Amino acid sequence: MSSDTPRGWSPQSWQQHAAVQQPEYPDRATLERALGELALLPPLVTSWEVNNLRALLAQAQEGRCFVLQGGDCAESFADCESGLIANRLKVLLQMSLVLVHGLRRKVVRIGRFAGQYAKPRSTDTETRDGLTLPSYRGDLINAPEFTPQARAADPLRLLEGHKRSALTMNFTRGLIDGGFADLHHPEYWDLDWVHHAPLAEQYRQRVEAIGESLRFMETLAGQTIGDFNRVDFYTSHEALLLCAEAAQTRRVPRQPGWYNLSTHFPWIGMRTAALDGAHVEYCRGIRNPMGVKVGPGMSAQWLRQLCEVLNPDNEPGRLTLIHRMGAARIESALPPLIEAVRAGGHRVLWLCDPMHGNTQTLASGVKTRAFADILTEVERAFAVHAQCGSRLGGVHLELTGEDVTECLGGARDLSETDLARAYRSAVDPRLNYEQALELALRIVSIRGAAGGAAD
Ligand code: PEP
Ligand code: CO
């Protein structure tokens, strides 16, 4: 293997390590054919974009930009639909506009979409009325219905996932390049609800202030500022199903190393972050910037070793640590980890995922999250980083552009009984559009209260 590849690594070297959270494919021949086709199809992203994102994440590490990463917990094939995609893009654009204006900083937008189709599960099988079947692992792998046919891992879903990711990317790119994200026209990304939401006024004031600043700058410059006509959008998903990730891992002309060209920013989930495990082995060899979820169960030593393995050259922008401690535990669990990373001299970007440590199951069996806990975790994350002389570089959220009722609280104070109205997630509960925008507005006021946006 040439010197631009870490020692002992190849796109398939993960197969020599323990790979948790992988399905059993009954039909191996079709699996091999599907993977072969996946390896030849045009990729979803390019190495240029991947390198650009790495450079932006390096800037975020230095506090020069703020990262907004958000989208569904799990995409479904059925949700690959123009209205849902456009609304999700709208809410992310609105949030980023609030953050840019309030934090006085560039915002790097990373969607949890165009490939977020595989989910880790707590058990490999599920039993109902004496029948045991494989767990549903996301649309990339099998279907949720409780029948042997639906639950069998189907290799053709890999190709369907690639197709739907490409459709999502194509539509998103078309909207953005066509002018949808033009700061001169924030009305393009108005959602109907904006006019009657409790926070509408606050949002409108920020939009107006931005319009005024833009007109002022353009008057000074004597021309339209083209940079504001479009924004960059990047994609991410959990790099979970390793045979599919490996099939889309390629060399490209004139760039050293291997790139995962199915997404700009893959991340390793909490359940697959074992140091000697297959996911870490796969990720250490690719050139993409990557994230690792960090929960309260992670020791300082484990985290330091992950930094050493995943970023041995201490390359800026390469490694993002996404902590997801829960509001109640962040103040005790995070400081030793920040200290360990600093003591090891590792350059990382820290993001806060305030969703996965705050999930609760109601007596009715419904999974939810309280907006207040989510907000508290973000507030505490800023404070803990400041106390430790570190910096929180962004947030990682599960959200949708729809009027769902999955998380409790927020400006409309959704209650347990409200959840039944529009609970649509098959997996984790997401912030709805209003709660998502409210969180962005609150982040801006937390930073304002902490004594100024730019640190
Ligand atoms: C997720 O991001 O949907 C997820 C499963 O997170 P974690 O790995 O942090 O539990
Ligand atoms: Co989730």
Rg for the chain, CA atoms, rounded: 21
Q: What is the pLDDT of residue 39?
A: 98
Decide: 120 in ligand 1 pocket, CB within 6 A. yes
Greater pLDDT, 209 or 7: 7
**Separation of alpha carbons 339 and 335, rounded Å:** 6
Q: Which of 73, 121, 270 to mutate to test the pocket of ligand 1 (most atoms within 8 A of CB)?
A: 270
Cα-to-chain-centroid distance, residue 173: 18
**What are the tens digits of pLDDT across the range 345-374?**
999 999 999 999 999 999 999 999 999 999
Q: What is the pLDDT of residue 454?
A: 45
69, containing H or E segment: strand 65-71
Whole-model pTM: value is 0.94
Decide: 285 in ligand 1 pocket, CB within 6 A. no
95-108 average pLDDT score: 89
Decide: 355 in ligand 1 pocket, CB within 6 A. no
Q: Which residue has the tokens 């998103």?
A: 172
**What are the tens digits of pLDDT across the range 118-146?**
999 999 999 999 999 999 999 999 999 99
Mean pLDDT of all residues in the chain? 92
Q: Under a CB-based contact definition with an 8 Å cutoff, are residues 263 and 236 in contact?
A: yes
Split at pLDDT 50, 70, 90, the class of 191 is: low
Decide: 317 in ligand 1 pocket, CB within 6 A. no
Greater pLDDT, 58 or 426: 58
In this structure, CATH architecture of domain 13-164+231-450 = Alpha-Beta Barrel (3.20)
Phi, psi for 397 (deg, rounded to 5): -130, 155
User: Which two structure tokens, joined as six digits, stand for 127?
Assistant: 């039993």
Break the chain into its structural domains and give their ranges: 13-164+231-450
Q: What is the pLDDT of residue 198?
A: 73
**Separation of alpha carbons 372 and 408, rounded Å:** 8
Amino acid at site 249? T
CA of 427, closest atom in ligand 1: 3
Question: What is the number of other CB atoms lying within 10 angstroms of the CB of residue 117?
Answer: 29
**Separation of alpha carbons 265 and 115, rounded Å:** 11
Q: Which residue has the tokens 């060209």?
A: 261
393-182-92 Cα angle (round to 5): 40
Q: Under a CB-based contact definition with an 8 Å cutoff, are residues 45 and 235 in contact?
A: yes
80-86 average pLDDT score: 95
Q: Is the model's pLDDT at 207 over the cut of 80?
A: no
Closest ligand to C-alpha of residue 428 is 2
Q: Under a CB-based contact definition with an 8 Å cutoff, are residues 393 and 382 in contact?
A: no
191 CA distance to ligand 1 middle (Å) = 28
Decide: 270 in ligand 1 pocket, CB within 6 A. yes
Q: What is the pLDDT of residue 205?
A: 82
What are the CA-CA distances from residue 58 to residues 53, 102, 317 (Å)?
9, 21, 4
Question: What is the number of other CB atoms lying within 10 angstroms of the CB of residue 449?
Answer: 10
93-116 average pLDDT score: 92
What is the total residue count of the chain? 455
Give one word for 129, left, alpha or beta, with left for phi > 0 and alpha for psi -120 to 50: left
How does DSSP assign 133-187, residue by residue? EEPP--TTT--SSSSHHHHS--THHHHHHHHHHHHHHHHHHHHHHHTTT-TT-GG
Decide: 71 in ligand 1 pocket, CB within 6 A. no
> What residues contact residue 172 under an 8 Å CB cut-off, 6+ apart?
85, 89, 111, 113, 114, 233
**What are the tens digits of pLDDT across the range 5-59?**
999 999 999 999 999 999 999 999 999 999 999 999 999 999 999 999 999 999 9
**What are the tens digits of pLDDT across the range 159-190?**
999 999 999 999 999 988 877 777 777 777 66
